[in-house]
Structure 1
């Protein structure tokens, strides 16, 4: 088998990155853009010991779920991976991704996977955009994402998964930067300019926050820029400048200055209210977040008597959501700034039975147990890399009756669940939630119960 060879592949499922997965001579074949049940005539682009990558040459048999992507830059943007699948097909494919992960890593014959919680209108759901700035061929400012496998920025004006208010605000910022001739980081012979624009919109509050990421504290025409933005954007509640001098994939630097207005915008989630500074984390799809958190609450099965540990608590949103139904909630977070935000959010919402602590769960939990704080329920919502082995060991030693695992990566979720299964827990159910329609990402809430509980 060599690069360039033609092969015919029947696609069995979607991979975790939205690619079609089939098999050729017992080797897995990954084909971008291919859908389950399609027969693909493909050309090999890469050959490895365990897998092959290929590109579509011809659709021999087309899936009935294949549609024309509504976004004109879908093929190059990289922000969405599966716009070419009907929404019904997306939900099914994502459910299959979750099911495949559990089958592969837990060795269980049957796992109860509930029907995917999707959206009635799976568009215009993102409340925040952070887009790189560059100049197009005619010299006009463009805002977008890097094209897949390149450093070329694709203009995504009018992105269909962003809220219209976010899109129109981006357009306004671009126009004003252009008219005031404010330098960009990508301008030739200039490395002191604006790199990124970040816009966040409150679906409930209708407040609007604009942050410019720059490479220095000097912003030409700053006062005029502020005045123009205030005039053009009547819902604007704050303008900030964040300075990031490093060449890094991280968007934000450490220093943020409020140029005008409030340091933090207000947004609500259910009956909770949050103050969001430019760097504060907040879920990007509020409508689906409520479904996700309600799934966590159903899994926790709180009666008002339980002690809940919210590990990896971030800014405290899950813990605060559960607090009215628990005896007490203790959140743990390694990033001090996030834990401080969580503490302020608790006070803001009168959640007096919720406290938040800086540290690692695997270190704090054993100390608390010695002091008599024994968790009935542990909630964990880790990054894509999953749970640390130390934390898993701590859970098995602490022995909570219920473990509620919120995950954005089915593979690491299933691998970690195998450790918990081997340690005396059983999976009651898995609830997939479509937090990011049109993309291959899938969130899942998994309820694990101790067998002898």
Structure 2
């Protein structure tokens, strides 16, 4: 039988694939189904067709699989607050994430002889995000905020989001009550009209918050008054900004952040290092799992106390400063100048003296370090999702650095880069998945590579 678009079929889900979709077969045709669980018997509507596979959405769950976390009435991305793994029991999420990492390393990385450990899970798999940005919209004449439905710009709202902190949930709820009383116009991206675009709430481990209201146009006094009213309702708000974004863009924050009241930064501590977080600062969104991630990475260095280590793609210096607590010396290389300046400031405030902060591209600055006869024992990478330029990896190989630790938020590009490293003489010894983003299909990995002798 040939499948047709909009056809309704019944399907048994056999496995999960990388990215989190369930896979079943109908008349030998592969059918991918979001929000499905292995063992599910589902009624599916076909929404797209290719030569060798189809994609469908769940119309109903006939029989739920044993690993399904919620009742069978919840079948959509929105039912699980935009969490593509929310339908799975947590222990199953951890199991499948390990399998996905192993699968891409074998298929993309073409690697076999490495050790992979069970995923390091979280004791708090919900309400863990310390930063959330929500777009505003209208629904039934009311101002709402929330997240975009899958593959659309239609906003959906939930009463309490399962990922963001309890404090952030309460703050956004109170803010919307105030905004609805003031009847501030919501931004319309098609017409490029209106005022309210997004709200960003950042929270810390001290139960304090920063609120940034993103608007189009010059902020009027009534917008600032709204933020003061919010502080009256939520005294945990210790810093408030208005971010002006007048561009037609999907980027949330604008170029200009106007300070309104409170502290200019939100404070956070990680390994006894004090960090200052401003509206645009990068900081990991899950503090508990960040500690586990960095502890794992540092433990992968042999004899770390006697080593000079390069932190490539060092950003605002978080890893470099944590590593400096153990390593002999750290060279932190970062291309973005503002991030390097922020890192220098934080290190001075924390009286850290064994880091050299270097602004520039990794491959060029590595060569400069070696020309200065600096002794480099190891390197740690924590690149963006796109991974590492192949030229950088070849530059590392030329230096003869023996030990590489690689932190990645994208197993696919990690596997691609692992393949390159293997070809130029580095063996992948071990891989540790870390669940930084519970309820989602995203996974961080830490890998250790050593130069082949």
TM-score clears 0.5: yes
Determine the C-alpha separation between the residues in 1 that align with 2:134 and 2:448.
36
CA–CA distance in 2 between the matches of 1:73 and 1:55?
Answer: 9
Query: Quick one: distance in 1 between partners of 2:72 and 2:39?
Result: 22
Residue 88 (1) aligns with residue 91 (2): yes
Instruction: Tell me if the contact between 2:192 and 2:248 (Cα under 8 Å) persists in the aligned partners.
Output: no
Residues 144/451 of structure 1: CA separation in 2 closer, same or farther (3 Å cut): same
Aligned match for 2:134, one of 131, 134, 142: 131
Task: Give the whole-Å Cα distance in 1 for the aligned partners of 2:174 and 2:362.
Answer: 44
SS in 2 for 1:256: strand
Corresponding residue for 1:254?
A: 255
Per-residue deviation, 1:396: 1.6
Which residue, 94, 105, 117 being the options, matches 2:108?
105
CA 1:337–1:38: 2 relative to 1, 3 Å? same
SS at match of 2:47: strand
Q: Which residue is 1:359 aligned to?
A: 360
* Separation in structure 1 between the aligned mates of residue 51 and residue 278 of structure 2, nearest angstrom: 48
Alignment of structure 1 residues 147-158 onto 2, 5 Å: 147-158=149-160
Task: Tell me what 1:372 maps to.
Answer: 373
For residues 411 and 224 of structure 2, what CA distance do their matches in structure 1 show?
48
Secondary structure, counterpart of 2:146 in structure 1:
strand
**Separation in structure 1 between the aligned mates of residue 47 and residue 85 of structure 2, nearest angstrom:** 21
Distance in 2 (alpha carbons) for counterparts of 1:201 and 1:43: 41
Q: What is the aligned partner in structure 2 of residue 212 from structure 1? A: 213
Q: Is the 8 A contact 2:333 2:362 kept in 1?
A: yes
Closer, same or farther in 2 for the Cα pair 1:27/1:350, shift >3 Å?
farther
Deviations 1:43-66 (Å, cap 9, x if unpaired)?
543233454323345657642101
Deviation at 1:195, TM superposition (A): 0.5
| Structure 1 range deviating more: 63-72 or 372-381 | 63-72
Structure 1 residues 62 and 179, CA gap change in structure 2 (3 angstroms): closer
Cα distance change, pair 330–350 in 1 and its aligned pair in 2 (3 A): same
Q: Give the conservation status (yes or no) of the 8 Å contact 1:35–1:63.
A: yes
Q: Secondary structure at the match of 2:170?
A: helix
Closer, same or farther: CA 241–51 of 1 in aligned 2, 3 Å: same
Shift of 1:103: 1.4
Look up the match of 2:293.
Answer: 292
Q: Is 2:335 the partner of 1:334?
A: yes
Shift of 1:69: 6.5
SS in 2 for 1:438: coil
Structure 1 position 328, deviation (Å): 1.3
Across the aligned residues of Structure 1 and Structure 2, the Cα RMSD in angstroms comes to 2.5
Query: Within the alignment, does 1:180 sit opposite 2:182 as a pair?
Result: yes
TM-score (normalised: structure 1): 0.92
**Residue 40 (structure 1) shift:** 5.2
Aligned 8 A contact 1:116 1:432 in 2: yes
Change (3 A) 1:399 1:197: same
Supply the distance in 2 between the matched residues of 1:198 and 1:83 (Cα, whole angstroms): 23
41 and 142 in structure 1: CA distance in 2 versus 1, 3 angstrom threshold: closer
Contact 1:134 1:187 in 2 (8 A): no
> Which residue is equivalent to 2:385?
384
Q: CA deviation at 1:39?
A: 5.5
Q: How does 1:288-437 map to 2 (within 5 A)?
A: 288-437=289-438
1:34–1:206 distance in 2 versus 1, CA, 3 Å: closer
Aligned partner of 2:266 in structure 1 is 265
Unaligned runs of 5+ in 1: none
